[in-house]
Every structure is written in structure tokens, then in C-alpha cells.
Chain A
């Protein structure tokens, strides 16, 4: 069930209404919520519900065993390690089978080919099958794993009941595409959903903002420039290709952060606070900063459960750790070599930023602020020059970061290397002939950038206004804006019904 469908709107209406009726009976309420989650997930495919249950049961069982392991006659620490290792391996296998099987087999075939072997025996040993990909698998396995690993790291906390773990893993706003929650933040909220009025106001505003980003900006850019240019870049002029590269940066931001906004907003309406996923990522001044703002829950997950166990910045080779983490993070996005390339390049970029920072500290020690004020002999001109230089530095680092990120998205999006290189060729050897693009693309890109600059302020102002209106008026305002947003969406095709087989 896509969030931007009539079905989901009706579903949410039922969830909210019945949830409110059952609110005073916590036992019923949790069972009801669990049912909602399963219905929501089953709507994507009944076949995969057992998988969701498996992930929940695995992690619940691991956590349980971790706690009661003292009764077993082994040395405690080793057994705990073994348990968590088994859990992780099982999850990796699960992901590997459902998500990477084909990628691995095809990769091995290519490898065998380049080595001059016939892949015949290989393809017999590993038959190709049609494995459907269970929606959201990457998200809820990570979510579930984080619970088991946290239990391993903090052995003194009491394990949760199966019902709660299942509820956490399958929570319907996040089950499809995040944000990736942490059990220790989410489960306490299950006890008593907050009834903060402001949070609900924000929830409504978040849903609207998500709709706008996804339905208006992202789909416009996708329809009018990105898809066509990335499909066949050789027909477009350098200007168009450049616009498409920027356009895709904005599109993927609006698409994904729009989805996250809606998920968080839906969570707020139900009384839960979900973690923030995006914080104006394109305002970042360096790559490290970017990853602190982009898909925050994934970055944090990778940091806590991959980078730090690898040794982080203390043990081992920090650069290598970074590259491995980012490479695997890239591969997490999809089973295709291009995601690996994208991740590795980001890892390299991060390593370069780290290296630059070390150099900077060594060669450009931070001037003591006290000496700055003491040095009052600075003429106004010098102040001006210093400020200008500072501003220039910020501008340059912003430009560099934004372009680095944007051009790496090319590898992420273009379907094969040939097309990625064609896009880069068209941009770097500027002035290639070809077709133009719609003027409206520019405002769309600008809106996407301005959302990051002024979006927060606009959001707060909107919520403040809403807070001053009585609730029926609030509903009218929301409906008018919502209707407007849906009208601005792609025309001709109804954004609601979406039928598929």
C-alpha cells in the first residue's frame, strides 16, 4: 500500500478511529495495532508475511536466549557471542537469498567468464530462480537486528515480549522504507502514546510536506527530465544533462525525504515519535556533514552496527573501515554493481575529507579566539576581507559537496556504466549538441533546494498558525492545501488508485 493512495487514506482513517476507541484498553489496542501492521504488510503480498514473522521471532528468540544463557553449561561470554553471530548470519543469509542471490550468481558467472572458464557447471550448481523481492526486507531486518544487538550489548535490560518485538519490527509506517527505528526508543512509547497536541499538528504538517515533495517536486522532475535523460543521455545537450543531474539530486531527496516525512507524520498522528531521517542534506559543507544529514537512521545504524565493530576510527585502518562501511551501505540500496560503486566512491570521499581535516589541523591550527579580539588593530577593510574569505570558503565547500554528491548520484541512478560515463562526458565536455529541457524544471529544482533552506522555518510557521486555529478550521486548511498539492501532481493519471497485478 503506497502512502499516496486512496486505499491508504481510508486505511489510516480506520486505524485512527478504531485506535482512538480502543485507546483506554491497552491490551486490545496492541493487538489491534499488530493486526493493522499485518494487514498493511499483507497488502503488499500475503506471501511475505511469514518472512516478517521470521525476522521478529529470530530476534526475539536471540534476545531471550541471550538473557537466559547463564543456565547453559557453557562459558557465558562465548555462548553469547555465538548466539548473536548466528542471528546476524541468519539475517545476512536471509537478505542474501532474497536480495543478492541473482547478483552473486551473475557476478560469479562473469568472473568465471573473465577467467576463461565455462560457467555451465556453475549455473547447474546454482540454478536461477524467480525470487520475488519482499518489500521492506532491508529495512525491517536492520530494525530487528538492532534490537538483538542492543540486547547483546546491554545484557542487563529485560527482554521484550514476542508481541512487542513483532509490533516493533512490523510497525506499518516504517515497515516499507524506514525510518529505521531503534527498539529502545520506540518500545517505551508503546506503553503510553504521547498526547502532545503540538506533535499532532506537526504530524499533519509533515504529511502535507511529504505529499508536496513526493507528488509535486519529485514526480515532476522524474517525468519531465530525469527519466528520459538517464534512459538515453546521448540525445540531450550538455545543458539538459546537467539539469538532469541536479534534477535527480533533488528528486531523490524529495522522494525519499517526502516518504520519511509522511511516515513520521503518520506516526505522530498515532501518538508515536519516530526518528528524524533528513536534516537539509544539501546544505552540508562537507561529505561527513552530508552523511549526518542524509538518511540519518541508516547512517547511524551503519555507524553503530558496522563501522564501530569494524574498529571505527580507533582500531585498524580507519580509511579502509570507512570504505568498507560505505561500500556495504551502498550495496544495501540494491543488488547491482552500480550501488557498490556509488558506496565505494562515497567511502573514498569520506576518507578524503578525513584526511583533509587531519592535514588542516596540522597545518592550520585554529586561531585562538581571544587573540582575535585582542588584535584590535584590524582595520575594517581587513575585517571585510576576512569575512569575505570566510564566506567564499563556505560557498566553495558547499558547491564542492553538493556537486560531489550530485555527480555520485549519477552512478546510483544510471542503469549501466556506459550511460553514467556518457552523462559525465556530456557535462564535463560541455557544449554537446542535443535536445533541451522544460523551463519548469529550473523552478522545480530551486524549490527542492529552497525546501532545505527555508523549509524548517515555513514548517514551524505553519504549525504555529495551525495551533491558533480551532480544529475544524485546521481541517479545512489541511484539505485545501492537500487538494491543491494533488492537483499539482502529474495530470491525467490519478494519483490515488494505482492498480497492479
Chain B
């Protein structure tokens, strides 16, 4: 240190040199204190400049080793502690207004929430802040099927509060489309608006304001500045949306994003995809599809508002391109409707314009000076073009889920496919006006109501055999009358008891011809997890399963197979012969008593995932399709867990037996030619089984099987399974024909 003075300054004095030192030291300390963010940032930079990645790694390491990250966590905890969320100052409208309807529901829901609390074993889960990590196979064997449902409820409870800031008036936020929570007759349909700065400025506020003035819906707006789908490292929309879906359970989701997306994507392998490259487009569309899957997984409808026309190049071209990708993604999802708004703010020639001239000849500014964002006037135009779509979606309702739950009042569906075009402003373009519908081998089948809701959409490729179907005969389609699964029993000599099972049967169409009345369906065997029984499906996903059965014209059978049966023929427990039971007793019973086709699929979650694959791979030809959600793909990795050894005996002594039931080992005894169609999905945060699922995928790939594997944010819990279930049923429906 070269201090100019002859006398050395005391350590407290800040000389210019020390100013630099103090600043630099404080700067780097803060960088380490915020290591999680800064190292991610550096690693991003590292894609182009490798030393940055090393620096990012170094920051992370130093922060962990030095204990700074622990300090940082303490700081975070301290800050969280002083953040409380309560609303006050809400004044309900006079009783004559319809708005008061929401008030009592709030008290009901909070009462029901507090009522569930004492009944649960209030152990560690109380302190778990996020709901993604609650295992189904808890360490407590006493816990029955009830346990996961309630712990999920409880952990969602803290999430109920934040939205009050939006709503002001208390009201419930059902976490699942379960009858017990979501069947408030007075609840208005809820519209969730999400997006980037477009949703925050100009368009979003005007849209929210316009919709809030109406009494027939509730509106929630959750925009995030500077976000999109290109920079998942910066903000992860899919995860955020998943949380929002749980928090608000909206009926309609309106998405408007992409203004920040014309930039390079850096994928998980730290590879850069240039914004104009082919691979970029592929990734972008996949991400958009993923977002739509999440948005529609709970039966909500999605309206994706495309971006308006842009001015500057190459930005404008890129926006146009990603708008096309967004539309393509929407076309893949039958619950999504894309609204092309590029013409709304354009001039007469279809080019970008900042100003338009109003009726009086005055200039009106539509765009901000950045030539990207819209002003309130521009937002008004966009809103006008969008509202008809929302109205249309509202009239359709949320598929059949809610109408069935609320009150079995038959909903007459609006089936005139072209009302949107006439209602909307002429500037709005549509996707090709081909009518949606599908036929299968069993004759012409109308799509589930939802598709009439988005009539201008092209048919969905993921469904079996689409052709243009006549919509005329849907005029009198009414809501599904029968809203319960059939509960059947099969007398099992193998297990020495009457075994119950559930059958979700598609509703017969009221105006059916005789061919349709004798309609037969493929059957999907849905296998439950450990610590659970068959009725968990009904409790957690009953309405969803009914609806899926309707939509995909498939019978879903959920048998009771012991909480720790593991879908094996146990040499130790005489009554635990689940494998033979399913193959020789259940399946004949189903095929005798239900209108089924000889097309079988098997699906399951957790232990059930193992079951589906064990049965399917041990008996090739029995099932045409297999799928597993968070499945235990290799039981030999869990010698002392989840009571597997009670049915198969200790692992070392019974290695061959264990291997014979392990999906991982079974891959060696089956050839790709004789293997059924396979879908394996797992939650990325599922610490129980994620590794073996990845290994299973690697084995599949190595041995040349055809398969689908998907990993997405989520844990070993019903939030994840609820979001996955529709896609699994769709997978089987597409293969079983």
C-alpha cells in the first residue's frame, strides 16, 4: 500500500486506496453471500467465456466452504420471518351486490382447513415450506392413504394467503379439483393472467381492468418483468405456473409472453442455441408446449395472446417467428387457443405503426417509445380483440369438471363454431377454420366439450385418428349425468377375499345410434402406490379420471392391490398373489362385465409404476402400453424400504426373485420388438426414485427400445401426479386403438 503521507493512517481511516479495498471486499462478499444467484449468472456467462464458469464454480465452492452460504440462508430466514401477509381495509359491497357471495366461502374454507389440521400427525411436515417434497411412502407405516392428501393440504395452506393481496376479500383457493373444495356453487370462474412486461404494462392492466368490471368472473394478474421462455435460468415460468395453478386453480389461463424471448437459449448442457437457429425453434416450441401442458393439466383452458407487430429488425422477424411457434404449441394442445394479435396494432397496410388516427383525426399513441410495449390505448385494442375468446371460453365452462361437481345441472354447450369470428374484431386472425373432432374405429365420436369451446382449432395429433367430424349432432349434448365411477367386486380365490375395484367408464352419448350405444372401449389398468389403496384415485383424482375417461373414450380400472403387495406373487405371504390376481381373476372379470375391447394398458404411480412395468414386461402381449409416474423402476435398490422384503424375502437370499420383478432387470429378458409402448415420467425433485428412473431411461436407450421419458419439476406427491395423469391417459389412449 503506497500511502502518500509519511505518517501511517490508523486502520480506521479510509484512504483512497482503502476505499477501493473496502469497496472491492464488500462487493465480493456480497457476491458470495448471494452465491446461488451470482454463480448461476457467472455460469451463464461461462457459455461464451469459459473462465466465468470456473469463477462461478469457485464462488459456489468458496461460499459453501466458508460458511457464507449458511450465513446467507440465515439472512433469508430472518427476512422471511418479518414478512407476514394479511389483508385489511377491505369493504364488502352492500348485500345487494353479487360480490358478497365470495365472502362466506372464505370462512368456510378456512374453517375446513383448520379442521383438517388437528387430524394429521403434525410432525416434520409442518415445517416443510414447499409442497413438492412430501413423500407418499412416508417413514411411518401406520399412515394410510389419508396422510398424503392431508399433508398436501396443509402445506398448501400457507400459500393461500399471498393471493389475498390480489383479492382483498378472503376466499378459498382450492388446491385440487376435488369435490370437497372446488365445488362452491357460488364461486365465479377464475381467470389467471400471466406473462412478461406486456402483462405488467399497457396491455395487462387494461385487460385486467376490463375483466374486473364484469361480474361473471374473477381476475388475477401475475406478470413478471423481463421474463419469458428463453432464459429459464433467470426465471422459470413452468415451475412458477405450476405453483400459480395450485394457488389459484383458475378456469382460464391467459398467457402473453415472448417480448423478451428473441435471444439465444442456453440449454441444460450449457450449449448455446442462436436465436435464429433451427434448434432454438425446436427448444422454444417444446418449452411453450410444456407450459401449456402445465396450464391445462388441471382442466383449465388456455388462451395464448400472441404479441403485436414489432418494429425493429431483427427483433420483429424473431417475434413473428416465435409467435408462429407459440401457435404451433397451442395447436398441439386441445385446451389451448392461440389468438394472433399481430394485425391488431398494425396500420392499414399491415405494417408497424406507433400512432393511429382516431375518428376525429387525432393521433393516438399505441406504442411506447421503445416501440415494443403498448400504451393503454394500444392495450385497449388488444383487449377488445381478446375478450370474445375469453367470453367464449367462459360460456363453455371448464370442461365437465366443475359443472359436474357443482350441481348436476345440464350445461348446454354452445356449438356454433364460428361465433368467435363474428364476435371478434375483423383484425383478429384465426387458425385454419377446420372443425375439431375425431373419429375412431368405433364410429364418429364428438370431442369432449372443450373442443367445441375452441372450435377453430385444428384437430389434436396426440389423439387417435382425427378426421373432420360433424359437429351438428352435438347440439343437444348435455353434461354428463353419471358422475360416479362404478364400484365393482371380484371374488378372488387367490387372495381369499372379495376384492373391490373402481371402473371409470366414458359416458354414453345421449343421441347415439345403436352402433354408438354398443360402443366398446380400451381399458387402462391404473395401479396405486404403496401405503395406499385403490380408492386413493377416487379421493384425489376422481373427477379428473371421469373426465379423462370421457375425453379419451377409455375405461380406467383401478383395483385394490394391497398397500405393500408390490404386484408380485409372494412366496412368503399366501394371500399376497397380486400378479396372478390381476392376470387371471381381475382381467377376465373386467372383460366379462364391462364394455371393453381387447386392448389393455397399464399405468401406475410409485409402487404402481413398478407394478405396471413388472406385469407388462413379464407377460409380453398382455398390455399394449405401459406407463409409470414416479415409479420404482428397480426394486433391488430398496432392500430395506417400503416392506418389499415382507413379500419377496430378504434381498441377498432371494436375489433372483427380486431381479425377476425389477423393471430394470426385466429389460434384459425382453426384446424391443415384443415390448409394449412405454412412457416413463418422474418429478425432477423426487429424491426417492429419480436416479433409478434416469438409469432406466439410459438402459432403454442403450438397448434400443422405443420409449418416452419426461422429467419435469415436481416431487413424489399428488401435485405432480395430478399434473401428469392427463398426459398418461392420453398416451395410453393414443396407443390403444
Contacts and interface: CB of A to CB of B under 8 A. Distances in A.
Interface of A: 6, 9, 12-13, 16-17, 20, 23, 102, 105-106, 109-110, 113, 118-120, 123, 128, 130-133, 195, 197, 200-201, 204, 224, 231-232, 234-240, 243, 269, 271, 415, 431-440, 467-472, 474-476, 478-480, 482-484, 486-488, 492-494, 496-501
Contacts of A487: 72, 75-76, 79
A500 B226 contact: yes
5 contacts: A204-B23, A237-B168, A433-B92, A436-B169, A478-B26
A446 to B, nearest CB: 14
Given A119-B362, A133-B369, A479-B25, A438 B90 contact: no
Contacts of B361: 109, 113, 118-120, 123
B135 interface: no
A393 B93 CA distance: 39
* 9 shortest interchain CB distances as A-B pairs: A435-B168, A436-B90, A239-B89, A479-B29, A470-B11, A475-B25, A237-B91, A433-B93, A483-B33
A441 to B, nearest CB: 9
B643 interface: no
Nearest to A242: B89
Nearest to B376: A415
A457 to B, nearest CB: 21
B369 A130 contact: yes
Given A475-B22, A499-B231, 13 more contacts: A20-B20, A197-B15, A237-B89, A433-B94, A438-B87, A472-B25, A475-B23, A480-B33, A483-B72, A486-B34, A487-B75, A493-B226, A494-B234
A130 B94 contact: no
B369 A131 contact: yes
Contacts of A6: 38, 41
B170 to A, nearest CB: 9
A407 to B, nearest CB: 18
Contacts of B14: 197, 200-201, 471, 474
B12 interface: yes
B271 interface: no
B108 interface: no
Given A20-B20, A195-B15, A475-B29, A236 B362 contact: no
A52 to B, nearest CB: 18
A437 B30 contact: no
Nearest to B78: A484
Contacts of A434: 90-91, 93, 168
A87 to B, nearest CB: 27
A155 B718 CA distance: 81
Interface in B1-58: 9, 11-27, 29-30, 33-34, 37-38, 41
Nearest to A238: B91
Contacts of A496: 37-38, 41
Contacts of A471: 11-12, 14, 18, 21-22
A437 B76 contact: no
Interface stretch (B352-360, B409-417, B597-605, B630-638): B352-360
A36 B55 CA distance: 26
Contacts of A235: 212
B88 interface: yes
Contacts of A9: 27
Interface string B81-119: 001111111111110010100000000000000000000
A229 B354 CA distance: 28
A68 B20 CA distance: 43
Contacts of A118: 361
B709 interface: no
Contact of A483 (B12, B19, B34, B90): B34
Contacts, number: 214
Nearest to A494: B37
A106 B11 CA distance: 62
Contacts of B90: 237, 239-240, 434-436
A435 B363 contact: no
A479 B26 contact: yes
Contacts of A204: 22-23, 26
B363 A439 contact: no
B365 interface: yes
Q: Which of B22, B37, B165, B360 has the most CB of A within 10 A?
A: B22
B348 to A, nearest CB: 16
Contacts of A438: 85-87, 164-165
Interface of B: 9, 11-27, 29-30, 33-34, 37-38, 41, 71-72, 75-76, 78-79, 83-94, 97, 99, 164-165, 167-169, 205, 208-209, 212-213, 224-227, 231, 234-235, 240, 260, 262-263, 311, 315, 354-355, 357, 360-363, 365, 369-372, 376
Q: Which of B23, B369, B371 has the most CB of A within 10 A?
A: B23
A471 to B, nearest CB: 5
Nearest to B29: A479
A232 B213 CA distance: 10
Given A232-B209, A415-B376, A440-B84, A432 B91 contact: yes
A132 to B, nearest CB: 5
Contacts of A474: 14, 22
Contact of B26 (A23, A120, A482): A482
A269 B357 CA distance: 51
Nearest to B33: A483
A169 B160 CA distance: 52
A118 B388 CA distance: 34
Given A201-B14, A439-B85, A479 B33 contact: yes
Contacts of B11: 470-471
Contacts of A110: 362
B474 to A, nearest CB: 38
Given A6-B41, A437-B168, A483-B33, A23 B16 contact: yes
A232 B168 CA distance: 14
A292 B174 CA distance: 54
A128 B168 contact: no
A6 B40 CA distance: 13
Contacts of B355: 128
B153 to A, nearest CB: 24
A484 B75 contact: yes
A450 to B, nearest CB: 16
A415 B209 CA distance: 14
A271 B225 CA distance: 36
Given A9-B27, A415-B376, A437-B165, A478 B22 contact: yes
A223 B456 CA distance: 38
Given A436-B88, A439-B86, A486 B22 contact: no
A480 B315 CA distance: 41
Contacts of B360: 113, 119
Contacts of A232: 205, 208-209, 212
Nearest to A110: B362
Nearest to B208: A232
Given A470-B11, A482-B30, A498-B226, A433 B91 contact: yes
Contacts of B205: 231-232
A435 B87 CA distance: 9
B318 to A, nearest CB: 10
Contacts of B164: 436, 438
A102 B365 contact: yes
A13 B354 CA distance: 40
B24 A13 contact: yes
A501 B21 contact: no
B168 A13 contact: no
B354 A130 contact: yes
Contacts of A131: 369
B679 to A, nearest CB: 33
Contacts of A17: 20, 24
A474 B25 CA distance: 10
A493 B235 contact: yes
Nearest to B92: A433
A200 B33 CA distance: 24
Contacts of B262: 501
Contacts of B354: 128, 130
